[in-house]
């Protein structure tokens, strides 16, 4: 990847483990010898608000923010948030999305409807699109809360970072009591 920067966006809502996934991704890239910059944007601090994390890595990275229209990979934890962030991707970008809908407060209060046809909208715009049932795979791995790690595993196959660095990053960032289930969830996502 000589001189080239990889731009990755992680999007979803608070409480989905986006920031932990962003930390693991950044750590794996650093262990692989890349320069890494990371930035987070929180829509609301409590659970349920929009969260966007920018991770950029390469031989030399100067800014942590992925410029609009220059994202290589959009890593979506929730479908509506994934669709909202599509303009950040290159036309040739990759979308890896969790097959999950979390209704925002406006939908829960009956003021709006959750948009329909989001998967079809993504498919129409991006040919490299992978839809992952993160919750089901995480439950199969032993803990439904490991959906973020399942998705990280699915994204890892599209990045030039060896699996050993992902495992070392998981060991460093995940609490010991949850490490084995997260390693299993990561591998299941990687095999998806």
Tens-digit pLDDT profile for residues 30-84: 999 999 999 987 665 456 688 999 999 999 999 999 999 999 999 999 999 999 9
Tens-digit pLDDT profile for residues 85-136: 999 999 999 999 999 999 988 888 999 999 999 999 999 999 999 999 999 9
CA distances from 35 to 16, 27, 65, 74, 166 (A): 26, 10, 14, 20, 16
* Dist CA 185 CA 17 (whole Å): 14
Query: In order of start, what are the domains of the chain with their CATH numbers?
Result: 6-106+116-133+151-166 (3.40.920.10)
Location of structure tokens 């987070």? 40
Decide if 15 contacts 80 (C-beta within 8 A).
no
Tens-digit pLDDT profile for residues 156-192: 999 999 999 999 999 999 999 999 999 999 999 999 9
- Note if the pTM is more than 0.85: yes
């Amino acid at each position: 990847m000589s001189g080239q920067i990889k731009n990755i966006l992680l999007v979803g809502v608070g409480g989905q483990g986006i920031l932990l996934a962003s930390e693991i991704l950044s750590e794996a890239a650093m262990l692989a010898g890349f320069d890494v910059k990371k930035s987070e944007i929180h829509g609301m601090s409590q659970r349920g608000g929009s969260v966007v994390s920018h991770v950029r890595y390469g031989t030399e990275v100067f800014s942590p923010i992925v410029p609009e229209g220059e994202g290589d990979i959009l890593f979506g934890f929730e479908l509506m948030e994934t669709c909202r962030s599509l303009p950040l991707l290159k036309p040739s970008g990759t979308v890896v999305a969790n097959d999950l809908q979390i209704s925002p407060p406006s939908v829960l209060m009956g003021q709006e409807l959750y948009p329909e046809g989001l998967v079809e909208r993504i498919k129409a715009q991006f040919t490299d699109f992978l839809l992952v049932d993160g919750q089901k795979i995480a439950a199969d791995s032993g803990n439904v809360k490991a959906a973020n790690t399942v998705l990280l595993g699915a994204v890892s196959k599209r990045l030039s970072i060896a699996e050993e660095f992902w495992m070392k990053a998981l060991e460093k960032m995940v609490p010991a009591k949850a490490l084995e289930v997260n390693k299993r969830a990561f591998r299941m996502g990687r095999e998806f």
